[in-house]
Amino acid sequence: MKFKKSEELYKEGLVHLVGAVNSPVRAFTSVGGNPLFIKKAKGSKITDVDGNEYIDLVLSYGPMIIGHRHRKVQKGVAKALKNGYSFGASTENEIKLAKIVCDAFPEMDKVRFVNSGTEAVISGVRLARAFTGKDKIIKFSGCYHGHQDSLLVAAGSGLATLSIPGSKGVPEGAVKNTLIAEYNNLESVKKHFEAHDDIAGVIIEPICGNMGVVIPQHNFLKELKDFLKSKGALLIADEVMTGFRSKFGGVQELLGVTADITCLGKVIGGGFPVGAYGARNEIMEQVAPLGGMYQAGTLSGNPIAMAGGIATLTELKRQDPYQKFDKIGSTIETILIDTAKKYNVSLVVNRFGSMLNPFFTNTKVTNFEEAQTSDQQKFAVFFWEMIKNGVFLPPSQFEAWFLSSAISDKDIKKLAVAIDKAILVVSKMNKK
DSSP 8-state code for residue 161: H
Asked if the peptide bond before residue 206 counts as cis, ω within 30 degrees of 0, the response is no
Measured between alpha carbons, how far is 160 from 158 in angstroms, rounded to an integer?
Answer: 5
Measured between alpha carbons, how far is 209 from 239 in angstroms, rounded to an integer?
Answer: 10
| Residue among 310, 309, 277 at smallest CA distance from 119 | 277
| Residue among 183, 237, 229, 191 at smallest CA distance from 368 | 183
Percent of the chain with pLDDT over 90: 86
- Tens-digit pLDDT profile for residues 129-177: 999 999 999 999 888 887 776 776 654 444 333 333 366 777 777 778 8
Provide the total of helices (H) and of strands (E) in the chain, helices listed first. Answer: 15, 14
**Domain 71-319 top-level CATH class:** alpha beta
135 within 8 A of 177, measured Cβ to Cβ: yes
Binned at pLDDT 50, 70 and 90, residue 325 comes out as very high
Bridge partner residues of 431 (DSSP):
none
Reply yes or no on whether the pLDDT at 399 is more than 50.
yes
Interval 100-120 mean pLDDT: 96
| Residue among 375, 389, 385, 376 at smallest CA distance from 423 | 385
Q: What CATH number does domain 4-65+321-429 carry, 3.90.1150.10, 3.20.10.10, 3.40.720.10, 1.10.3720.10?
A: 3.90.1150.10
Q: What is the mean pLDDT of the chain?
A: 93
| Residue among 237, 350, 384, 321 at smallest CA distance from 64 | 321
Reply yes or no on whether the pLDDT at 304 is more than 90.
yes
Alpha-helical segments (H) within 244-351: 251-254, 281-284, 303-319, 322-342
Q: Is 280 in a helix, a strand, or coil?
A: coil
- Tens-digit pLDDT profile for residues 267-285: 999 999 999 999 999 999 9
Contacts of 363 (CB under 8 A, 6+ apart): 348, 370, 373
DSSP 8-state code for residue 36: P
37 within 8 A of 374, measured Cβ to Cβ: no
Four-point Cα dihedral 309, 310, 312, 315, nearest 10 = 170
So what's the pLDDT on residue 153? 66
Reply yes or no on whether the pLDDT at 344 is more than 50.
yes
So what's the pLDDT on residue 159? 39
So what's the pLDDT on residue 431? 65
**Residues belonging to the active site:** 144, 238, 266
Which part of the chain is CATH 3.40.640.10? 71-319
Measured between alpha carbons, how far is 148 from 163 in angstroms, rounded to an integer?
Answer: 18
So what's the pLDDT on residue 149? 66
Measured between alpha carbons, how far is 6 from 24 in angstroms, rounded to an integer?
Answer: 17
CA angle 8, 13, 17 (to 5 degrees): 170
So what's the pLDDT on residue 166? 61
* Class of residue 414 by CB neighbours under 10 A (exposed 0-12, middle 13-18, buried 19+): middle
DSSP 8-state code for residue 208: B
So what's the pLDDT on residue 11? 96
Which part of the chain is CATH 3.90.1150.10? 4-65+321-429
**212 or 200: which leads in pLDDT:** 200
Contacts of 17 (CB under 8 A, 6+ apart): none
